[in-house]
Structures are given as C-alpha cells and as structure tokens.
Chains A and B, each alone.
Chain A
Amino acid sequence: MATASGELGIIGGIAARFRTCPVTRLRVDLAAERLIKANAVAAVVFLAIGGLMGLLVALTRWPAVHLLDSEAFYQVLTLHGLNVLLFWIIFFEIAILYFASAVLLNCRLATPRLAWAGFGLMVMGALLTDWAVLQGDSSVMFTSYVPMQASPNFYLGLILFAVGALVGCAVFFGTLVIAREERTYEGSVPLVTFGAITAAIIAVFTIASGAIILIPTWLWSLGYIGHIDTLMYKLVWWGMGHSSQQINVSAHVAVWYAIAAILLGAKPLSEKVSRTAFFLYILFLQLACAHHLLVEPGLSAEWKVFNTSYALYLAVLGSMIHGMTVPGSIEAAQRRNGYVHGMFEWLRKAPWDNPAFAGMFLSLVMFGFIGGISGVVLGTEQLNIMMHNTLYVPGHFHGTVVAGTTLAFMALTYLVLPLIFRRRVIWPTLAKWQPYLFGIGAAGISLFMLGAGTLGVPRRHWDITLSDAILSFDFQPAAYLMLGLNGLFALLATVGGILYVLVTVGTVLFGEKVTEENALAALGPMPARVAEAGGSAQVGRHGGEGLVHLPGTYVLVGVFFVAFALYYFVNWKYLSELWPIS
C-alpha cells in the first residue's frame, strides 16, 4: 500500500521508507527520492548559470555584436564551460545513478547520509570554483592548461566537486550490492541500469584522472610544487575533460532507452546486443581523449592512431548499435501498439506532443548526425589536422553534449517531474514547444561552429577580425556569416533553455499534485495501449523484443550511413586540396 509518507520496509535488517509508484509499480526509497530531487534541482541551477554565460559567449563571437571585451570574454567562457560541461551534467547524472539503482532495482539506497555528504561536497566545490572565477584571476577556461595559473580555490573547488561525485558513484555501486544481496530483482539488471553502470565506471576513471592532475596543480598554485609539465598536464587532464563527456554519452543512451520504455512500453531489441554495445563503451570510449592530442609532436603516431583510429572505432561501433536499436525498439513497440501501416506510421503517430518523447528523439537524431559523425572526423589523425583547435571542436561537442546529452536530460525531466517530484507539468503548451526550440537552436549552434571551424576560425580567440594581432589575417566572408548564424541560433536555444527552467521551477513550486488517479495522464500524451496495459513498467524489467521486422528503422539507418560516408569522404577531399601533391 502506498501512502503519502510511504510504507516502512525492512530489508536486510535495515529499515527504509518506500512508496509505490502508481505508473511503474516500482517501490521508491524515499531517501533516494530526496537525493534525486536535490541533485536534479542543483543541476538545473547550474544549467541556468552556464546557459546564460553561453549566450554571452555566442553574442561576443557574433562579429556584428561582439558584446564583451577580451577580459570579460575569457571569464565568461570559463564559467560557461565549467557550469554546463561539469556541474549541470554531473549533478543530473548522479540523480540518474540513484534512480537507476535504488528505484529501478526496487531497493533501498546504500548509505543516504554519505550520499548527502557527497552532494554537499559537490555543491561546495562548484560554488568555490565559480566564486574563484568571478574574482577575475582564474579566467583559464575549462581546460585550464598550465602554465596559465588560476587561484588555488579554482582547483580546490574542482577537487571537492570530484570527491563528492566519486562518493555518489560509490553509493551507486553499494546500492547494486544491496540489491543483489537482498534479491530485489531476478536475473540480470534492466538495460537502463546497465547503462548507468557504464556511466558510473567511466565516471570513476574520469574522477581518478582529475584527481591525479588537479591535486598537484593545486599544490603548484599554492607554491609547493615548482613545475608542472605542460604536455603531461594535457594528457592526464583530458582523461578527465573528455571522459567526463563520455559519462554523458552512456547516461543519455540509458535515458533514451528509459524514455522509450516508460512512454511507449519499448523493450530493447536484444538485451545481448545492447549490453555488448555498452560493454564496448566500458572498454574503449575513454580512449577518445586522445583526439585532443593528435597534433602534439611529443606523442608517437602509434599512440595516436591506436587510441583514436583503432580503439575508438570500437566505441563508435557501440554508438552505431545503439543508433539502430533505440529507434528499432521504438518501432517495434509502436507496431505492437497498433501503428502497423506503411513504413513510417509508427514514427508519424509517435507522441510528438509529449516533450519527453520529442526531446528524446531529437537528441537521438542530432547526437548521431551532428555529434557522432563530426566526432569520427575529429578522431581521424589525418583529418584532425584541418580543424584541430578550431571552432570545429566546440561545434562537435555542442552536437554531443548540448543537442545530445542536455536535450535528453531535459526530456527526462518531463518524466522526473510527475514520477519523482510528483507534480504535474504546468504550462504544457510551452513544455511541448521547448524541446523543439532548444533542439533546433542547439543543432544550429553546432552546425555553424562546425562550418566556421572548417573555414579555420580558431576556437579560443575572442575576435575573429584579429584586430589586436601584429599580423592580420582575413577569414572568408562565409566565416562571418557562420558566426552570425551561430549567434542567432544561440538566441533560439536560449529561449528554449529559459522555457525549460521556467517550466521546471514553476512545476516544482506550483504544479498540481500527482495522485494515483492522474499519474498516467501526468506523463503527457502516450499511446492508449501503453496506458491501458501498464507498459511503462517495462523500464524496470530485463528482456529483449526478439526477432522483429523493422523496415522504417532500416531506412533511417541507411540514411545515416550514406550521410556518414559522404561527409567523411568530403573531408578527405578537403584535405587533398589543403596540401596539393602536384
């Protein structure tokens, strides 16, 4: 029986309070629920700060506006990178870890007090780092390459944040142990939990790399260490800087599967295949860090080519598997839900009015077409030389982290609000448009930065006219157009971001309470058969769809492969023109 305060459950001799979710029928540990809420709220706060800073960056890169002077630009750029690439993302991911362990496995969260301590460290660390940057002496950008030196508080804040996140990962693994020991699930864990395990494993490597390099750098900033080797710093720092974005990839793929399961009752096409794809991430995805070092003369071609063009492609294979199995599982579920006519009725009649579904599908498409393809191009040593350290790099990671991860997390929020905060989304019409505004804005930002980068615009310079440089250089007029369009689409994404924050905060504060009776309706539009048959419970189950015919998915995957091959070889043609042989 579920009550407002929850039922008391005693598992393994330890008491915990639970409630039963009226949609998924899962037992929700109230301690885990409070922690999920706290981490999600913190995530949205840091997204709002980082997003605002991102708008200022785009308005400065827009040559016709050129808003900030150089000093303010680098300060704002530093805040933008830290708040969105680390703080927003990792707070939200910790919330996902607690959901995918305690909630999906029907068990209590391990050591909630320790989890709160970790959360406290993360908040303290994030605020300390932001405060250090606001003082004006730590405008070292997200990468904080030595010998540029920030104030000691900058590094200390990041270390505290990393330790807090590591505590969150430990609580997650502890919860997995509890669930297995107390037999709260049968067989293997659900696929969404397996995706979260992948994210947590990459997080441990990420945080360890951060600790290895940031602790000595902090001591260096205090004067206890005399010298940090610049190349060694870059190598180990990217173990944190790039791997932190690989946590995102694993987490948002898990989110895609979760949203498809809750809204459409979708099962993975094959548990074995999808779990193998996550396994490829565990083994190889972190090696993508090497693409940031492909032009370093101190590292051998063997190291570069093995880590990127050999091992990384195995992780890319994992992404391509998910790129087929996620839409495939949606098609299979929709055909089961009655949409069997033609090749694409399942897609046309998907719940596009539901912001959770729309955000998830846009994230899937844009991550693959923009972030994924550009990532393979950047990871190819020969092609990398054309766009290394140009705006192509932020163009790529805005395709992965903004259009991919951020949009997927925004989409999940529309389910977290009714299922965890137990509030019905206010302003459903605004919520319906939000993922389209943000998604199209993010896609434009990514594409136009990719375009500007291809034309050679540097990623770290605040002024494309190079007005303060001794030697002048004129970029092609198209580069100015690209940066202007980047600014316009940043405005569109900002409108989408503001709507997200308004709807989220408004719902938490003023949303109608979700009850047993209106719980399903609170999830938004979804196929009638899923609502009637309780299909949302699929999110907590293990088991695949089996062999099904998926003509629509085959066509979508074919379109992707053609786009991939064309774009890849177009870049080889660019390379041949860059260095004529005759």
Chain B
Amino acid sequence: MAESERGERIPFMQRVLDNPFLLLFLGVAIPTVLYILWGLIEITQIPIAD
C-alpha cells in the first residue's frame, strides 16, 4: 500500500490520477479499442460487391 511521506495511506484513485503514464495508457488504449479497432473490424466484414 502506497503511503505519503507523512505515513498517510494514499487513496487508490489518487494514485491512479497521480500516474500520468497509466493515464496515458488508458487514454490511448480505450479509444483505440472501442473506436478504431472495433470500427475497423466492422469495416473489414462488409461484403465486397461482385
């Protein structure tokens, strides 16, 4: 459990919000999966006209 210099327990959400690289990962991964990858999968499944 992470603790501050004064020995106080740092809440989980504060640790998340204090970690810019975790936020960077979430902020890139979520739209990449939900918007781009999901969208591309749907486009690749469109049948090609004869």
- Residues of A in contact with B (beta carbons under 8 Å apart): 173, 176, 187-189, 194, 197-198, 200-202, 204-205, 208-209, 229, 231-232, 235-236, 239, 243, 272, 275-276, 279, 282-284, 286-287, 289-290, 293, 298-300, 303, 306-307, 311
Contacts and interface: CB of A to CB of B under 8 A. Distances in A.
A298 B36 contact: no
Given A201-B24, A235-B43, A311 B32 contact: no
Contact of A201 (B27, B35, B36, B42): B27
Contacts of A200: 24
B2 interface: no
A236 B26 CA distance: 19
Q: Tell me the dominant secondary structure on chain A's binding face.
A: helix
A283 B36 CA distance: 14
A289 B17 contact: no
B8 to A, nearest CB: 11
Given A201-B23, A204-B27, A311 B39 contact: no
A235 B34 contact: no
Given A286-B27, A287-B31, 19 more contacts: A173-B24, A189-B18, A205-B32, A208-B32, A209-B36, A229-B43, A236-B36, A239-B35, A272-B13, A275-B17, A279-B16, A286-B30, A286-B31, A287-B30, A289-B35, A290-B35, A299-B39, A303-B42, A306-B34
Contacts of A307: 34-35
A231 B40 CA distance: 9
A201 B30 contact: no
19 contacts: A173-B21, A204-B24, A204-B28, A229-B43, A231-B43, A235-B40, A239-B31, A276-B13, A279-B23, A282-B27, A283-B30, A286-B35, A290-B39, A298-B42, A298-B43, A300-B42, A303-B38, A306-B34, A307-B35
B24 A287 contact: no
A289 B17 CA distance: 25
Contacts of A298: 42-43, 46
A283 B27 contact: yes
Top 3 closest A-B pairs, CB basis? A201-B27, A286-B31, A282-B27
Nearest to A284: B30
Contacts of B20: 173, 176, 197, 201
A202 B27 contact: yes
Nearest to B45: A298
A293 B13 CA distance: 34
Given A283-B27, A299-B42, A235 B18 contact: no
Contacts of A173: 20-21, 24
A547 B13 CA distance: 21
Contacts of A235: 35-36, 39-40, 43
A129 to B, nearest CB: 24
Interface of B: 4, 13-14, 16-18, 20-21, 23-24, 26-28, 30-32, 34-36, 38-40, 42-43, 46
A307 B4 CA distance: 38
A307 B31 CA distance: 9
A79 to B, nearest CB: 29
B39 A303 contact: yes
A208 B13 CA distance: 27
Contacts of B13: 272, 276
B15 to A, nearest CB: 10
A284 B27 CA distance: 8
B14 A201 contact: no
Q: Which of B16, B36, B42 has the most CB of A within 10 A?
A: B36
A478 B47 CA distance: 43
Contacts of B31: 205, 239, 243, 286-287, 289
Contacts of B42: 298-300, 303
A452 B34 CA distance: 33
Nearest to A194: B17
Contacts of B38: 303
B42 to A, nearest CB: 5
Nearest to B25: A201
A181 to B, nearest CB: 13
A205 B27 contact: yes
Contact of A282 (B23, B35, B36, B40): B23
B28 to A, nearest CB: 5
Contacts of A209: 36
Nearest to B41: A303
A299 B23 CA distance: 29
A563 B46 CA distance: 41
A283 B39 contact: no
A216 to B, nearest CB: 13
A283 B35 contact: no
Nearest to B17: A275
A197 B46 CA distance: 38
Nearest to A307: B35
A164 to B, nearest CB: 19
A311 B24 contact: no
Nearest to A197: B20
A320 B4 CA distance: 32
Contacts of A306: 34
Q: Which of A176, A200, A201, A287 has the most CB of B within 10 A?
A: A201
A194 B39 CA distance: 30
Contacts of B32: 205, 208
B17 to A, nearest CB: 5
Contacts of A202: 27
A41 to B, nearest CB: 28
B43 A311 contact: no
Contacts of B21: 173
A298 B45 CA distance: 9
A311 B40 contact: no
